[in-house]
Amino acid sequence: MPLDPTQAFRLEGEVALITGGGSGLGLGMARALHAAGAEVVLVGRRAALVQAAAEELGAGAHWETADVTAFDTLPTLVERVIAKTGKVSILLNNAGINFKKLAVDTEVEEFSTMLDTHVLAAHALTRAVLPGMLTAGHGSILFTASMTSIIGMPGVIAYSAAKSAYLGMVRALSVEVAGQGVRVNAIAPGWIESPMLRKALDGDPARSNRILQRTPMNRFGEPEDIGLAAVYLCSPAAKFITGVLLPVDGGASQGF
C-alpha cells in the first residue's frame, strides 16, 4: 500500500534518545522530532540544561544526565530510558566537543579525548540500543558528522578525524543491519547558529565574514535546519535510505 505523503514525515510511536540534547544542534533536532510526534529523551552532562530543555518541549519530552565518555554507564542509561519510555527506536549520536589547534600543537591526550567523546561514545551507546532495535526489527541511528568529514580545514585535525570516523561507522553498520529493519545515516552540518559557533566566532567578525563568503547561500544555518533533516532521515519518508551522509551546509562543502 503506498505511503500517505501527509504522514510520511510523522514520528508518532517513536522514542528518540538524543545526546547533547540540551542546546544547539541537539536541541534543534529534539524540537523537530518532538513536533513530528516522537517522544524524546534529552541526554546531557548538565542536569539544569537538559531539564529546562525537556520542560520547554512539554509532554512527551524527558531528560537524563550522563557523561558519554563514561562508557560503562551507558547501558544503564539505556535501561533507565527504556524503563521510562518502553523502548529506544531512534538514536541520535550528537554529543561532541571541539577545539582549534594546529596539528603540531595538538597533544596526544587531547586527540584521545576527542575520539573518546565522539567515536567511542557513539559506538558504546549504539551497542547499548542496538539489541532492542534488532529484536523489534525497527530502528534508526543517526550520527552528527561535520563538513570536516568532507573537506579539509586547518586547525581541527582531531575533530576532523573523529567526525570522519563516523562515515566509516555509518557505512559498516548500515550494511550490517539493513536486512534487520535498522537504518543508519549521518548529517554533516555546516556553520549553524549555536553556542559552539558563537564561542568560536566571539570577537572575530572577520572570520564570520569569511565563513559567509564561502557559503553559497550566504547565511548561517539554524538548528531547525538540522532538525528537519533529522526528521526526514528518521521518518518513513526515508524508509529506503541507509548508509548516507546528508550535508546541511548551504552549499559550503560543494564549492564557493
Say how far apart CA 183 and CA 138 lie, in whole Å: 8
Domain map of the chain by residue range?
Answer: 15-247
Whether 159 sits among the annotated catalytic residues: the reply is: yes
**Which single residue is written with the C-alpha cell 540540551?**
22
Cell numbers linked to 9 = 514525515
Active-site residue (options: 143, 159, 166, 220): 159
> Contact at 8 Å (CB) between 141 and 182?
yes
**Which single residue is written with the C-alpha cell 534518545?**
17
Q: Which CATH architecture has domain 15-247?
A: 3-Layer(aba) Sandwich (3.40)
pLDDT digits over 4-62, tens only? 887 999 999 999 999 999 999 999 999 999 999 999 999 999 999 999 999 999 999 99
Say how far apart CA 133 and CA 70 lie, in whole Å: 23
Q: What is the rounded average pLDDT of the residues 154-170?
A: 96
- Alpha helices, H only, 93-194: 108-115, 121-136, 157-177
Cell numbers linked to 63 = 531528560
The reported pTM is 0.94
